[in-house]
Every structure is written in structure tokens, then in C-alpha cells.
Amino acid sequence: MQHHIFLTGNLQVGKSTIIHKVIEESGIIAGGFRTVGGNYAKDGSSDVFLLGMNENPAPDRIVAHRFGCGRGRTVYPEVFDTVGPRLLGDSSPSLIIMDELGFMEKDAVQFQNAVLSTLDGSVPVLGVIRNMQTPFLDEVRAHPKVDVIIVTEENRAEVLQQVLSFVQKSYSR
């Protein structure tokens, strides 16, 4: 029996939007984390933050700095390792959000262990996972409690209803 759902698909197809709508429509107070961009500069550079569900960007939450015009990024795995496990273990929510898992946390072993430990637990997880191959992402996808759903422009309304139903059933346990 699956307990966790991860959404995957092309960039900007609506995966995170589905998660936000599910939280809004279900009224569930969720724990976990989200990654968001911010501090956009004229040269095209920006920062990526690892935040709790109701937190605003702060300097101690920067997990990566993207250089403008596709010139790469600097990743700070130590921030993943200190902030991430705390966000995953902060409370006892009815639903844990992981938005999103990708390549930036490849060197953040403590964060990876916290994610895998959370997946072993009983609280349902709703997340986004990048559509790429890394040992960590492959381990998440292969977890016995994880179901991965591919989101496309054509099926995103249907996926929203499917995920909303999953969350409502999980919440009523």
C-alpha cells in the first residue's frame, strides 16, 4: 500500500501548483519544506531557499546561488543538512510536503537520510521529484511506500483531483 505521492514531469508543468492547491482546498496544515527562488539580480543571478511551509526567505536558508545567463550555480549542502532535517522533524503534521527533491542535495547526506527516514514513517508525504537519474532520487522513487505520478499539461487537472482524494483519505485515517 502506497503512503506517499511524488509528482514529476517537465519544468513549469504545474507540479508545485498542484501541491499548493491541494493544501488550500483540503485545509490541512502541512509540515515539510519547499524550495523557492528569490533575490533576483539584474545580471540574472538569484538564490534558492529551503523554507518551511509558512516561512519567508532568509539569508540562513540559501541552499544555492544561481549565476546569471546559465553560468551555473554554487550549492550549499551544509544548509540542506542543517535546515532540512529540522523542517522534516519540526512537528507532527498530518501531511509532509517535500517540494522539491532534485540534484542540488546530492552531497547533503544528512538531508538525504532525513528524507528516507521520513518516507519510512507513517505520515503521508506529498512531494515533487525531478525527472532525472541520481542515486538519491532513484532511491526515493524505489522506496516501497512511494508512488510517482507524471504530470503533463493534459492530465494536471485529473492529477489534482487524484492527489486531493489521496490527501483527504490520508487525513481521515
Show the domains of the chain with their CATH numbers: 4-171 (3.40.50.300)
pLDDT of residue 1: 44
Task: Please report the pLDDT score of residue 26 as a whole number.
Answer: 87
Confidence of residue 171 (pLDDT cuts 50, 70, 90): low
Helix (H) / strand (E) element for 138: namely helix 135-142
pTM for the structure as a whole: 0.92
What is the spatial order of strands in the sheet that 73-75 belongs to? 73-75, 62-66, 46-51, 30-38, 95-101, 125-129, 4-9, 146-151
The residue assigned the cell 483531483 is 161
Is it the case that residue 135 has pLDDT exceeding 70?
yes
The dihedral region occupied by 8, where left means phi > 0, alpha psi between -120 and 50, and beta the remainder, is beta
Helical residues (DSSP H) of 31-126, grouped into ranges: 77-89, 109-120
